[in-house]
């Protein structure tokens, strides 16, 4: 039954040979890998205004210069990653580039920063998307956390069905949003040129902070959330159709152009229309209401914003499992994350990402402004390490001399993103960025500990200098709760593997134990039955104690414990029977020299 439900929900398994048919073209690739970056125009410009408005209404003038600075930063980062894509056509994420060129530790820092940012991307995108929904329909606000959780679960399910299938599903919302935002910006610019702009009434807001360099830095760092997701394309090169690097490079250019133009357009129009950020409504909603009025076009852009922000989470679902699989193959993460599931996706990574994102949404109550301070620092740290790694890559090329503009572009990218990382860390430290600053080193230590564990396991399992073990004669113990057909089969199996067989039972009911002794003399007189007393009605403890004593007295290296189990014919019938055998097997697993063998007896056959 579980297998049947899995087929219905996730879909039929795909053969490994079908992987090449699951790859993405440029159109679908833009939807899968750029939705995170493109969707950030829904909250990036707003974060700039939220920071500036604390210095009073007049300080909002600075939003346009800050927006220009962010657009320039987009161009620098995108250009740097365009070079990375062509230098690492098999996948040039920060972890790979930093590890190859700067060493293991910088690579792990980049990997930990990206993993953290991917989790935050899902949480922020979903929370912001639902905020767009509740801005249009305020009555839904009390249930916004539950809606967020259901949204993450739905996105995870779509990704479990496969990359190409999720790409097709999410392509429509991406292009719907891009078209809607461009319509909003073009309509607003037309009204500016035509002189028909009707700015909102000026709201005099008293300043709580002085307007200075630090506040402008905070506004800039908030707006830098716009760049999150820029690296996704370089991480996902293997998911594109051949020629992979060329297609990924084209998507990177498209994404940067869309991101710069829409972000700057929203920022400029928000100033022209005198938009002031509000707690109960997003800036994008206020601007759309001002330009379109409260009509179908307004609700169109709200729904498109909600959907693109939900789709933006899909970028992380494409990249988090892929990065986890690479780090798992290198031994820094659990090996289960390196395995593809039935649908040729890294299913374990998808499930872990969904669980962590839901946990964040519950902890922060789905509040976008509470999550944003944790955001961006991780991705800019990975940007810096990646671009620094690329500078070293160009300088150490042996086969050809790098062109100067390659080095200059990546060097500018490294310096710029490094400065932004410091700005974000300083300006948002007390607002919550300290959590990420502390968390990344902890994750790195955890990754190193995982690698050390795998190395120790490999060292203990190596055949170098090993001799063939001397097992000796092994005793066999059969655990019985009563005598029935399943017990008889288990005893016969025990006889087949060893002449030295002992049966063990625990006396929990003297009457039942007496009946067992009588039947035992009739059915199994040749096998000794040992009855263990249990004054505290425990089954596992007296069994394990006696088994330990038997092992110390035996000659062999191992002691085999045979456990009879009967298997009901219906899945739900399992819940009607004790699962003592599972507890015993779990306890034996951690005791050296014990081998547990289950002998199933299938009912209803």
Answer whether 601's CB lies under 8 Å from 485's CB: yes
Task: Write down the H helix ranges in 428-475.
Answer: 433-461
DSSP secondary structure of 33-62: HHHHHHHGGGTHHHHHHHHHGGG-GGGGGG
Total-model pTM: 0.74
Cβ(126)–Cβ(373) below 8 Å: no
In 3-state terms, what secondary structure has residue 16?
helix
Residue 169 has a pLDDT of 67
Q: How far apart are CA 560 and CA 556, in angstroms?
A: 10
Which pLDDT score is estimated for 471? 63
- Residue 348's nearest CA partner among 357, 360, 340 is 340
The tens digit of pLDDT for each residue in 247-291 reads 999 999 999 999 999 999 999 999 999 988 887 788 888 999 999
d(CA 224, CA 375): 9
Helices (H), 401-432: 404-427
* Residues in CB range of 44: below 8 A, 6 or more apart: 70, 222, 223, 224, 225, 226, 263
Contact between 393 and 101 (Cβ < 8 Å): yes
Q: Which pLDDT does position 15 carry in this prediction?
A: 46
User: What is the structure's pLDDT at 191?
Assistant: 93
The CA distance from 116 to 433, in Å, is 12
Backbone angles phi, psi at 327, to 5 degrees: -70, -30
Sign of CA dihedral 336, 339, 341, 342: negative
- The CATH H-level superfamily of 475-602 is HUPs (3.40.50.620)
Q: Which superfamily does CATH assign the domain made up of 22-454 to?
A: Amino acid/polyamine transporter I (1.20.1740.10)
Q: What is residue 584's predicted lDDT score, i.e. its pLDDT?
A: 86
Q: Which of 107, 46, 70 is nearest to 331 (CA)?
A: 107
pLDDT at 554: 65
Low-confidence spans in the chain with pLDDT less than 70 = 1-22, 91-92, 161-170, 207, 341-344, 398-402, 468-472, 554-556, 576-578, 605
- Residue-wise pLDDT for 430-483, tens only, equals 777 788 888 999 999 999 999 999 999 888 878 777 776 666 677 889 998 888
Would you call 563 helix, strand, or coil by DSSP? strand
- Cβ(215)–Cβ(54) under 8 Å? yes
For the chain, the structural domain boundaries read 22-454, 475-602
Confidence (pLDDT) at 162: 62
């Amino acid at each position: 039954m579980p297998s049947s439900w899995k087929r219905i929900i996730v879909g039929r398994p795909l053969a490994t040979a079908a992987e090449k048919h699951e790859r993405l073209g440029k159109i679908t690739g833009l939807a899968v890998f750029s939705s995170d970056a493109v969707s950030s125009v829904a909250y990036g410009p707003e974060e700039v205004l939220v920071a500036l408005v604390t210095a009073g209404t007049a300080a909002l003038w600075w939003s346009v210069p800050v927006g220009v600075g962010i657009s320039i930063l987009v161009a620098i980062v995108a250009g740097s990653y365009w070079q990375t894509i062509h230098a690492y056509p098999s996948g040039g994420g920060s972890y790979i580039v930093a590890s190859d060129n700067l060493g293991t530790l910088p690579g792990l820092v980049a990997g930990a920063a990206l993993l953290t940012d991917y989790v935050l991307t899902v949480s922020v995108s979903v929370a912001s998307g639902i905020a767009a929904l509740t801005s249009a329909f305020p009555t839904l606000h009390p249930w916004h956390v539950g809606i967020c959780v259901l949204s993450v679960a739905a996105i995870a399910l779509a990704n479990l069905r496969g990359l190409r299938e999720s790409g097709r599903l999410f392509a429509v919302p991406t292009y719907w949003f891009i078209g809607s935002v461009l319509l909003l910006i073009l309509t607003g610019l037309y009204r500016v040129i035509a002189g028909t702009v009707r700015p909102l009434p000026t709201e005099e807001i008293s300043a709580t902070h002085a307007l200075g360099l630090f506040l402008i830095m905070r506004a800039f760092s908030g707006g830098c959330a716009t760049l999150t997701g820029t690296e996704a394309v370089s991480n996902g090169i293997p998911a594109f159709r051949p020629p992979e690097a060329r297609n990924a490079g084209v998507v990177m250019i498209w994404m940067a152009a869309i991101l710069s133009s829409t972000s700057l357009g929203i920022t400029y129009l928000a100033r022209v229309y005198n938009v002031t950020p509000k707690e109960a409504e997003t800036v994008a909603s206020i601007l759309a209401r001002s330009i379109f009025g409260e009509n179908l076009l307004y609700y169109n852009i709200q729904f498109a914003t909600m959907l693109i922000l939900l789709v933006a989470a899909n970028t992380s679902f494409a990249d988090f499992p892929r990065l986890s699989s690479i780090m798992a193959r290198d031994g820094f993460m659990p090996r289960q994350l390196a395995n593809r599931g039935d649908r040729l996706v890294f299913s374990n990574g998808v499930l872990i990402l969904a669980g962590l994102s839901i946990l964040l949404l519950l902890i922060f109550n789905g509040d976008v402004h509470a999550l944003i301070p944790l955001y961006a620092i991780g991705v800019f740290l990975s940007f810096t390490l990646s671009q620094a790694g690329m500078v070293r890559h160009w300088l150490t090329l042996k086969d050809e001399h790098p062109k100067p503009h390659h080095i200059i572009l990546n060097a500018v990218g490294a310096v710029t993103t490094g400065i932004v990382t410091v700005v974000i860390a300083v300006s948002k430290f007390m607002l919550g960025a300290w959590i990420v600053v502390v968390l990344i080193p902890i994750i790195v230590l955890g990754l190193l500990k995982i690698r050390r564990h795998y190395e120790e396991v490999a060292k203990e399992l190596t055949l170098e200098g090993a001799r063939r073990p001397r097992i000796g004669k092994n005793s066999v113990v059969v655990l019985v709760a009563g005598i029935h057909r399943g017990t008889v089969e288990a005893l016969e199996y025990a006889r087949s593997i060893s002449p030295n067989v002992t049966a063990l039972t625990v006396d929990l009911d003297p009457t039942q134990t007496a009946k067992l002794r009588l039947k035992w003399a009739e059915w199994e007189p040749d096998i000794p039955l040992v009855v263990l007393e249990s004054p505290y009605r425990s089954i596992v403890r007296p069994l394990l104690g006696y088994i330990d004593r038997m092992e110390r007295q035996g000659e062999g290296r191992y002691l085999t414990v045979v456990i009879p189990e009967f298997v009901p014919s219906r899945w739900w019938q399992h819940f009607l029977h004790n699962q003592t055998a599972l507890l015993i097997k779990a306890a034996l697993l951690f005791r050296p020299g014990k081998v547990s063998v289950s002998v199933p007896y299938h009912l209803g056959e």
